[in-house]
Amino acid sequence: MKAGNLIIIILATGYFIVTGCSSTRHLPPDDKLYTGATVVVTGTPTVREKKVLQSDLQDLTRPKPNSKFLGLRLKLSIYNLFRKKKENSFFGRIRDKNGEPPVLLSEVDLEHNVKVLQSHLENKGYFRAKVEGDTIVRSKKASARYRAEAGTQYKIKEVHFPEDSSALSASIREGIDQSLLLVGKPFDLDVIKAERLRIDAFLKERGFYFFDPDFILLRTDTTIGGNQVNLYVTIKSDIPDEGREVYRIKDVLIYSGFSLNTARIDTSKAIAVLYNGYYIIDRRKRFKPSLFGEALKFEPGDVYNRTDHNLTLSRLINLNVFKFVKNRFELNRTLDSAYLNAYYYLTPTIKKSLRAELTTITRSNNLNGSLISVSWLNRNTFRGAEHLSIKLYTGTDVQFSGALRGYNTFRTGAEVNFTIPRFVVPFTRFRNRGGYVPRTNIQVAYDILSRTKLYTLNSFRMGYGYLWKENIQKQHELYPISINYVRPTNVTEEYNNLISQDTLLARAVQRQFILGSTYQYNFNQQASGIQRTNSYFFNGLIDLSGNIAGLFTGADVKGGKEVRIRNVPFSQYIKFELDGRFYRKLGLYSTWANRLIVGVGIPYGNSVQLPFIKQFFIGGNNSLRGFRSRSVGPGTYRYPGITNFLPDETGDIKLEFNSEFRPRISGPLYGAIFIDVGNIWLMNDSFHTHKPGGEFTGKFLNQLAVDAGIGIRLDITLFVIRFDIGIPLRKPWEQNPWVMNQLRISDPKWRRENIVYNLGIGYPF
């Protein structure tokens, strides 16, 4: 809560307490303070119906009384405290911003409220309902009391749809099985309105372009007895002829260089290029005609339907080459039949752009720093909406917290991406009919990573893959070709000394050659922008390497047959990683967030372990926040020479669970209370005998690390700055792993070894 608002509330509370009944002191003569309404419902058959009706009716009464906080009308007290201040004065602005004028009994229209409540009951099927209202006055306060005798709610006995032989009535009957009007259900005007919209949407999918929901009438018959009602869906007799016709597409005209600054002029088809039935007006030849053949879902002769209409607009927008996309349909008056002409007005965006960014970054290994990047983008490289981007970047990461300081990281690299807005598959052709344009991506990148005092890694990456969306929530990413080659240089004597103490550290400076494929599926309910009470996130990854090469070469490193490509052994493994999240809204602003990660890597053939860059690690500011990055595991293993410990522990199996409550404090400021559980393990213990306790066994649940902590977040929508403090609760390598009884907050040594500070950008999950 802002300090200014807090002071105002304290002043108002003190004023309220000192002046006693201050809420009624400054009322107009002969008027009362209105304190609200109560609604008593009788005559309902069930308790649940009564509660629902009572809540609905209560919300419909007007006006609403002055708001309360902890039983006090603080906003009214603020208004009274500064009631005589001028409008634009300092205290006058406080009054107008934070106060509420008194709600008076004279503002209550009892008769109007009775009619509103009566109407609502009838709309919900309580046709015999009766509502009465009166006021109750006590001293200088007054309230309203309404008595609603609901009676029996009418149920639907029969539903009748138009039975004539017209195409319109026949189409309406086709959708009977989708009707919202169900026999045995209560009569409800809101459901009836929704049924009209459903029928309209159903007809729009079948070519009735000019139909409107207002063309539908729904008649009721309540005289059949038994508290039942028959419903008759009918079509108005005076609707225009266009509303009864099924329309097809005649001409499709595309204006690919439309300018919003000029009046729309529908250029003659004589200067258009005809491509697969589309008329394309593109005087500057900016785009290949085939681009629109891929994007548009309408073809001449097709029956109009709303789905293809919306999909076409979505696909044109998702090409990311048009700043504005407009369209219209117009009746073709040159033909006697029912035809529409479709017009698309496309305003191109800037073709090329140059962008420089200075970014503050945080990584899950407690490294924080900055990244400077310069990127060049061509949005229409070969006139087919192909995107070519070239990015150069350099940056540095500085150790924020950890067992050792000074081992900072410097990164420099370049990345080229070429994206084609369709599936490019050899020897065949795929067409995606969704609202999102599929993309084929070719990526080439080179990266130099230098860890001060330790080593330098040169990494070359290349990939050929496909990205597509089913809808805004579901996304797929398939890279059938993914190559990664890592070559170390400048390995220092200090790092070699560390390797002699922990031979697994040698994996970080080994040459690595990964030739494989990856597939990733992402489901994110929050991407739709709809605020749900419960929402889910799921990301699944399958990573394969060396399968074809291993098949042809017969590689078997356990059997003594290691195969090398250009003197570098290729990696062979199968890796799975599942990331599931559950978010629950608590109130308007607070959230309970949960995450479960399960990862398994199975090396085989030419490998006995996953490549170092593909192994799992745990700990850090996006993982177990009470432990430093890569300092946990595998299993119950703990490096004995802790004074020289370089946290770089990895494993083939990972299990992690995080739970976090995020209450809103005030405005963009949020708090956090969290608990993290997890560990990593090794798959092949016979090849890791120097890591006792690191093998995955049936006792893995007894080897989990646990931490807890608190945090604070500044969420201003554009970005989130996060600060967390975590402490370990369970250290699996200890003889008595639960260490909660060892808390020594006042001991500097204990704080230095156990309290972990995490600074991050964005939420941890």
DSSP 611-628: -GGGSB---STTS-TTS-
Q: Does domain 248-348 have CATH number 3.10.20.310?
A: yes
Distance from chain centroid for Cα 154: 41
**Whether 514 contacts 569, CB under 8 Å:** no
Q: Do domains 248-348 and 352-761 have the same CATH topology?
A: no
Q: Residue 257: is it exposed, middle or buried by C-beta count within 10 angstroms (0-12/13-18/19+)? A: middle
* 187 within 8 A of 159, measured Cβ to Cβ: no
Q: H-type helices in 258-305, by residue range?
A: 289-295
pTM score, two decimals?
0.75
d(CA 503, CA 509): 11
**Rounded distance between C-alpha atoms, residue 224 and residue 645, angstroms:** 86
Tokens representing 139 are 């001293």
* Separation between Cα atoms, residue 111 and residue 118, nearest integer Å: 11
CA-nearest of 243, 43, 245 to 126 is 43
Within 529-652, strands assigned E span 534-545, 564-565, 568-569, 573-586, 590-603
Query: Locate tokens 């950890």: which residue?
Result: 402
Residue 193 CB burial class (10 angstroms; 0-12, 13-18, ≥19)? middle
Non-local (6+) Cβ contacts of 530 within 8 A are: none
Answer left, alpha or beta for residue 731, where phi above 0 means left and psi between -120 and 50 means alpha. beta
- Report the distance separating Cα 583 and Cα 588, nearest Å: 13
The sign one gets for the Cα dihedral 751, 755, 760, 762 is negative
- The secondary element (H helix, E strand) that includes residue 732 is none
Amino acid of residue 465 = G
What pLDDT does 13 receive?
Answer: 56
Q: Given this model, what pLDDT does residue 69 score?
A: 76
**Sole residue written with tokens 């349909």:** 329
CB 647 within 8 A of CB 672: no
Fold of the 155-244 domain: Ubiquitin-like (UB roll) (3.10.20)
Extract the runs of DSSP E, i.e. beta strands, from 497-533. Answer: 512-524
Separation between Cα atoms, residue 85 and residue 91, nearest integer Å: 6
pLDDT computed for residue 407 by the predictor: 65
> Computed from CA positions of residues 174, 178, 182, 188, in that sequence, does the dihedral angle turn out positive or negative?
negative
The residues of the chain scoring below 70 in pLDDT are 1-22, 45, 261-270, 359-370, 397-407, 427-433, 502-504, 550-551, 639-647, 685-690
Sketch the domain layout of the chain as residue ranges. 3-149, 155-244, 248-348, 352-761
Q: pLDDT tens-digit profile of 219-271?
A: 999 999 899 999 999 999 999 999 999 999 999 999 998 887 665 555 566 67
Amino acid (1-letter code) at residue 160: H
C-alpha to C-alpha distance for 255 and 265, rounded to whole angstroms: 10
Residues 697, 196: Cα–Cα separation, whole Å: 61
3-state helix, strand, coil in the chain (%, to 5): 25, 40, 40
Q: What is the CATH number of domain 352-761?
A: 2.40.160.50
Residue 366: predicted pLDDT? 44
Distance CA 441, CA 478 (A): 10
State the DSSP string of 677-714: EEEEEBS-GGG-TTSTT-B--TTGGGG-EEEEEEEEEE
Selection from 659, 648, 654, 621 nearest residue 761 by Cα? 621
pLDDT at 643: 47
Q: Which long-range contacts (CB under 8 A, 24 or more apart) does 326-333 make?
A: 326/258, 329/209, 329/304, 331/242, 332/250, 332/251
Per-residue pLDDT at 719: 76
Q: How far apart are the first and last CA of the chain?
A: 25
Residue 644 identity = N
pLDDT tens, 385-420?
999 999 999 987 665 444 445 567 788 999 999 999
What is the structure's pLDDT at 18?
46
